[in-house]
């Protein structure tokens, strides 16, 4: 049986990789995927904690988070497609004029 600490380490590595990818990459699609990786790392940590405590509350929470993440993915990808159609680019450097 795999100890919960291994899942916490994996979640931390995934979260750090997501943060690095978000700040290093300069296109919206890669940044969006990095945010999804960070969200999944959080889900993995909650599942590991739920498994360690022996309760199913964390599993129910993760189910709701995955549902919200699916809705967020649809809306986020729609926004990225609209930005690409208008600007012909999804690089964040090309979107500087969107600042308010």
For residue 42, what are the contacts with CB-CB under 8 A and spacing of at least 6?
11, 15, 65
3-state secondary structure of 2: coil
The tens digit of pLDDT for each residue in 46-61 reads: 999 988 888 888 888 9
- Hey, what domains does the chain have and what are their CATH numbers? 4-98 (1.10.287.3510)
- The length of the chain in residues reads 100
Instruction: Answer yes or no: is pLDDT of 14 > 80.
Output: yes
Residues 81, 79: Cα–Cα separation, whole Å: 5
The per-residue pLDDT for 94 is 72
């Amino acid at each position: 049986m795999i100890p919960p600490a291994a899942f916490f380490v994996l979640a931390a590595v995934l979260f750090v990789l997501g943060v690095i990818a978000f700040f290093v990459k300069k296109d919206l699609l890669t940044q969006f995927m990095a945010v999804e990786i960070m969200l999944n790392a959080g889900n993995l940590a909650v599942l590991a904690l739920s498994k360690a405590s022996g309760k199913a509350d964390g599993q129910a929470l993760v189910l709701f988070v995955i549902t919200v993440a699916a809705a967020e993915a649809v809306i986020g990808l729609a926004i990225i497609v609209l930005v690409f159609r208008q600007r012909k680019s999804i690089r964040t450097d090309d979107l500087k004029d969107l600042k308010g």
